[in-house]
A and B are shown apart, each in its own frame.
Chain A
Amino acid sequence: MRLGLVIDLDTCVGCHACAVACKQWNTSGTTGPLTDYRPYGADPSGVWFNRIRHYEVGEYPNSKTINFPMSCMHCEDADCVTVCPTGASYKRKEDGVVLIDQTKCMGCNYCSWACPYGARELDRESGTMKKCTLCIDRIYDETLAEIDRQPACVITCPAHARFFGDFDDQNSEVSRLVRERDGMQLMPELGYNPTNRYLPPRINTPIPTEDVRRDSLAGKVKEWVNKAVAR
Chain B
Amino acid sequence: MHPALSVIFFTVVSGAGFGLYSLTAILQLFRLGPAMDRSELLTALITAFVLIVAGLISSTGHLANPKNAWRSFMRVKTSWLSREAVLAVIFFPFGFLYLLGVYLYGAHVPAFFGLMGLIGIVLGFMTVFATGMIYACLKTMRQWNTPLVPANYLLMGLTLGALFHLAIEAYYGANLQFITGVAGTALVMTGVMKGIYYYWIIKTSGPSINTATTFTRATVRLLDVGHTAGTFLTEEFGYQVEAGRLLMLKALVFGFGFILPLILIVAAAASQGAGFLLATLAVLSSLAGKGIERWLFFAEARHVVNLYHGAQHT
Cβ A118 vs Cβ B233 within 8 A: yes
Cβ A43 vs Cβ B230 within 8 A: yes
Q: If A79-B139, A87-B74 touch, does A127 touch B226 (CB 8 Å cutoff)?
A: no
Residues of A within 8 A of B243 (CB): none
Q: If A85-B74, A189-B206 touch, does A106 touch B69 (CB 8 Å cutoff)?
A: yes
Chain B: minimal CB distance from A175 (Å): 18
* Proximity bits, B37-81, A CB within 8 Å = 1, else 0: 000000000000000000000000011111111011111001111
Contacting residues of chain A (97-116) with chain B, CB-CB under 8 angstroms? 103-110, 112-116
Give how many A residues have a beta carbon under 8 Å from the other chain's beta carbons: 62
Taken together as a complex, chains A and B put the C-alpha atoms of A198 and B73 apart, in Å, by 38
Residues of A within 8 A of B218 (CB): 57-59
Asked if B212 is an interface residue, CB under 8 A from chain A, the answer is yes
Asked if B219 is an interface residue, CB under 8 A from chain A, the answer is yes
Instruction: Label chain A's interface by main secondary structure.
Output: loop
Give how many B residues have a beta carbon under 8 Å from the other chain's beta carbons: 56
Residues of B within 8 A of A104 (CB): 68, 71
Residues of B within 8 A of A110 (CB): 79, 81, 134
Closest to A67 in B: B226
Taken together as a complex, chains A and B put the C-alpha atoms of A11 and B5 apart, in Å, by 45
Task: Pick the interface stretch among A44-52, A147-155, A206-214, A220-228.
Answer: A44-52
Residues of B within 8 A of A186 (CB): 211-214
Q: A51-B227, A55-B220, A86-B68 are in contact. List 11 more A-B contacts (CB 8 A).
A: A54-B226, A83-B137, A88-B71, A105-B68, A107-B66, A108-B64, A110-B81, A114-B140, A116-B303, A190-B304, A191-B139
What are the 3 A-B residue pairs with the smallest beta carbon separation, nearest first? A107-B64, A127-B65, A127-B64
A-B contact pairs, 18 of them (CB 8 A): A43-B230, A54-B226, A56-B221, A57-B218, A83-B81, A85-B73, A85-B81, A105-B68, A106-B66, A106-B67, A107-B68, A109-B236, A113-B140, A115-B140, A116-B303, A122-B64, A124-B64, A128-B64
